[in-house]
Amino acid sequence: MKQIFTRPESLKDVATHFCPGCHHGSVHRLVAEILDDLGIRSQTIGVASVGCSVFLYGYFDVDVIEAPHGRAPAVATGAKRARPDRIIFTYQGDGDLAAIGMSEIIHAANRGEDITVIFVNNTTYGMTGGQMAPTTLPGQKTSTSPYGRDTAKDGSPFKMAELLATLDGVAFSARVALNNPKNVLNARKQIKTAFRYQVEKKGFSFVEALASCPTNWGMSALDANQRVTDEMIPCFPLAVYKNSANL
Amino acid sequence: MQAAALEKIFVKGNEAVAMAALEAGCRCYFGYPITPQSDIPEYLSRELPRRGGEFIQAESEIGAINMLLGASATGVRAMTSSSGPGISLKQEGISYMAGSELPGVIVDIMRAGPGLGGIDASQADYWQATRGGGHGGYRIIVLAPASVQEMYDLTMMAFDLSDIYRIPAMVLADSVIGQMKESVIPNPRPVTVLPPKEWVVRGREAGEAQNVVKSLYLGDGEMEKFHWKMAARYEELAEKECRWEEVQTADAELIVTAFGSVARIAKTAIAMAREAGMKVGLMRPITLFPFPKKAYAALSERCKLFLDIELSTGQMIDDVRLAIARDAEVAFYGRPPGAGSLPTPEELFEQIRKNYPTHA
């Protein structure tokens, strides 16, 4: 019998702490598949952030640096400048990257650091219990926006993939989703392209993955998948916003 | 560097730090402009790239300290520098580095504070430096140069001690030492046995153990174990690495104690006091952490009166009090930092005269 589906070598054979229906596991798997595909696992160093993504080192079979909240792009910058022969990626959530770490991501991107940033946008702070995030949708109720996000007071969601694409230092920027097979296949393709940019030393690459958080959204996994289609994608359109070298 | 090693040069304190970093094999520097330390990034932005190193003017001191964290995690020697307001911003990263047992050199050219304060010399960041500064309960190695030569020598030592003990090391000077010019012998990098950095992130072949640089400890008892491990390491530091300078303490009836720039001024005042027939000595700690407690204790067995002088309302005096014998006393003279507060030798001589024991 031919084996057609197996665990990627870059992913450890352990249970994750992620909640049922959470898309972090899917993003982990796709990144691991790409590290295998490109044969770069042995050169790769991951930079974990703070939040649900902090346990990166427990799941990826690569060396990992754990960064302070929001600082992963600065940590990755230091690591890449010290070891330009390594593949360095950060893995960050929306609170980490678009709130407390906005300065670090913008400047690392603007310098055109040869790193890959995987940004998981689930419109909430997952680990701390579902507070309002910089990407929380207008009107969305969270534990710190109990009446719904009021754009007049709280501002509107940051559209990071579009924002970063405007910077000269960014070589590749795309937004993907994981809520159905078609979107997962496209996500795999874009994540692969992002890592190819780094392998070919063509500059800063960024993939924003729209992800579900059934626990903090108070939904079933299936309803959460549907919410990605119904509410998130209209606000955060799926597209490749920049592909400067046409990889 | 080696060929010119013994030729005297005439440089600013900040330049001496930058030159020493290069001699020590520092490969990456990350910084942000702030007076009175900007000569350091300026020098290294010119010299590091020429030598195959990396210089980044970061978006903030927060960015810079985290770049240091990332570079250090790969095993290279790396440095950042700043002054008060910027050092405050770096505390988050310093705490994470301490929690991750990462080496790295942080240069603090102190200026007046709190807040924006001023650009004049200060010693009011003694507590911030020696008590860890950030959250969680940790210590860092703190070296206090009192001359441009020591700016050079102690910067090299900071790299070595930091690598040996896997604790961040700070060179704590002030704008006087940073900005003044003196002649320096650019000593070659000392021959030091350094432990191999087996813990670095490097990418790994199949079968090699995974290296993780982290400060998160969630398992039962893990965090407590980490704290006791570090406490033992701080003890080892105190046992092996205390450094200080004593001047004419053998017969002293009064021992002036001060660090950094103030100790320089005190030396002149002590010479004036000796001239006037008073038996006065100087105890100058060079390592502020570890603080040379045993040396103070030994001095206080014989001499029962100390005069602590600082450019603050009194911070190091806490450590002096804890270190000396219970029957010894410490008088204090402080000039809180700010324009015009640097004391003159005559002023310190007057304090010595005022405090000198009358029975002697």
Q: What is the CATH number of the domain that holds B270?
A: 3.40.50.920
Q: Does the pLDDT of residue A62 top 70, yes or no?
A: yes
| Residue from the list B62, B93, B203 with its beta carbon closest to the beta carbon of A45 | B203
Quote the pLDDT of residue B359.
61
pLDDT at A245: 96
Of B58, B96, B210, the CB nearest to A63: B210
Q: What is the mean pLDDT of chain A?
A: 97
> Domain limits at B148?
9-184
User: Could you tell me the CATH number of the domain that includes residue B43?
Assistant: 3.40.50.970
Please judge whether A42 and B206 are an interchain contact, meaning their C-beta atoms are less than 8 angstroms apart. yes
Contact between B210 and A57 using a beta-carbon 8 Å cutoff: yes
In this prediction, the answer to ipTM > 0.85 reads yes
Q: Is the pLDDT of residue B1 over 80?
A: no
Q: Among residues 169-208 of chain A, which lie with CB inside 8 Å of chain B?
A: none
- Mark whether B260 and B171 lie in a shared domain: no
The H-assigned helical ranges of B166-310 are 175-179, 222-240, 260-275, 293-302
Assess whether B122 and B253 both reside in one domain: no
Same-domain status, B24 and B155:
yes
Residues B47 and B156 in one domain: yes
- Give domain status of residue B101, yes or no: yes
Q: Do B70 and A79 touch (CB under 8 A)?
A: yes
For residues B155 and B265, state if they share a domain: no
Confirm whether B48 is domain-assigned.
yes
Residue of B nearest to A106 (CA): B59
Out of A76, A82, A103, the one facing B76 most closely (by C-beta) is A82
Domain boundary among B169, B184, B199: B184
Average pLDDT, chain B: 96
Give the C-alpha distances (Å, rounded to integers) separating A157 from A22, A146, A235, B116, B233: 21, 17, 8, 34, 47
CA distance B219 to A221: 29
Q: Inter-chain contact A106–B59, Cβ cutoff 8 Å?
A: yes
Secondary structure string (H, E, C) spanning chain A: CCCCCCCCCCECCCCCCCCCCCCHHHHHHHHHHHHHHCCCHHHEEEEECCCHHHHHHHHECCEEEECCCCCHHHHHHHHHHHCCCCEEEEEEEHHHHHHHCHHHHHHHHHHCCCCEEEEEECCEECCCCCEECCCCCCCCCECCECCCCCHHHHCCCCCHHHHHHCCCCEEEEEEEECCCHHHHHHHHHHHHHHHHHHHCCCCEEEEEEECCCHHHHCCCHHHHHHHHHHHHHHHCCCEEEEECCCC
The answer to whether residues B170 and B248 belong to one domain is no
Q: What is the pLDDT of residues B219-266, one digit of tens each?
A: 999 999 999 999 999 999 999 999 999 999 999 999 999 999 999 999
Contact list in B for residue A9 (CB cut-off 8 A) is 206
Per the CB < 8 A criterion, the answer to whether B171 and B155 are in contact is yes
The nearest CA of chain A is from the CA of B31 a distance in Å of 12
Same domain, B248 and B163: no
Q: For B108, list phi and psi in degrees, rounded to 5.
A: -120, 105
Contact B204 A76 (CB under 8 A): no
CB contact under 8 A, B66 and A65: no
Between chains, do A87 and B69 touch, taking CB under 8 Å as contact?
A: no
Same-domain status, B286 and B147: no
Q: Is residue B1 part of a domain?
A: no
Distances (CA, A) of B97 to A192, B214, B288: 32, 9, 19
Q: How far is the alpha carbon of B16 from chain A, nearest alpha carbon, in Å?
A: 24
Q: What percent of chain B has pLDDT over 90?
A: 96
Looking at the fold, whether B133 and B21 belong to one and the same domain comes out as yes
* Enclosing H/E stretch for B51: none
Contact A66 B214 (CB under 8 A): yes
pLDDT in tens, A9-49: 999 999 999 999 999 999 999 999 999 999 999 999 999 99
pLDDT in tens, A135-177: 999 999 999 999 999 999 999 999 999 999 999 999 999 999 9
Same domain assignment for residues B153 and B259: no
Domain end: B144, B167, B184, which one? Answer: B184
Q: Determine the residue of chain B that is closest to A50 in CA distance.
A: B216
Q: Is residue B227 part of a domain?
A: no
The whole-number pLDDT of residue B6 equals: 72
Does residue B236 belong to any structural domain of this protein? no
Single-letter residue type at A157: P
B78 in a structural domain: yes
Clarify whether residues B340 and B267 are in a common domain.
yes
Is B199 a member of any domain? Answer: no
In terms of domains, do B173 and B77 share one? yes
Nearest residue in chain A measured CA to CA from B200: A63
A103 touches chain B (CB under 8 A): yes
In a domain, B27, yes or no: yes
What is the total count of domains within chain B? Answer: 2
Q: How confident is the model at residue B283 (pLDDT cuts 50, 70, 90)?
A: very high
Q: Write down all domains in chain A, each with its CATH number in brackets.
A: 24-243 (3.40.50.970)
- Put simply, the answer to whether A82 touches B60 (Cβ < 8 Å) is no
Say whether B74 and A82 touch across the interface (CB within 8 A).
Answer: yes
In contact, B50 and A62? CB cutoff 8 Å: no
* The last residue of a domain, from among B155, B184, B213: B184
- B29-39: b (≥16 Cβ within 10 Å) or e: bbbbebebbbb
Total residues found in chain B within this entry: 360
Choose among B92, B203, B216: nearest Cβ to A66.
Answer: B216
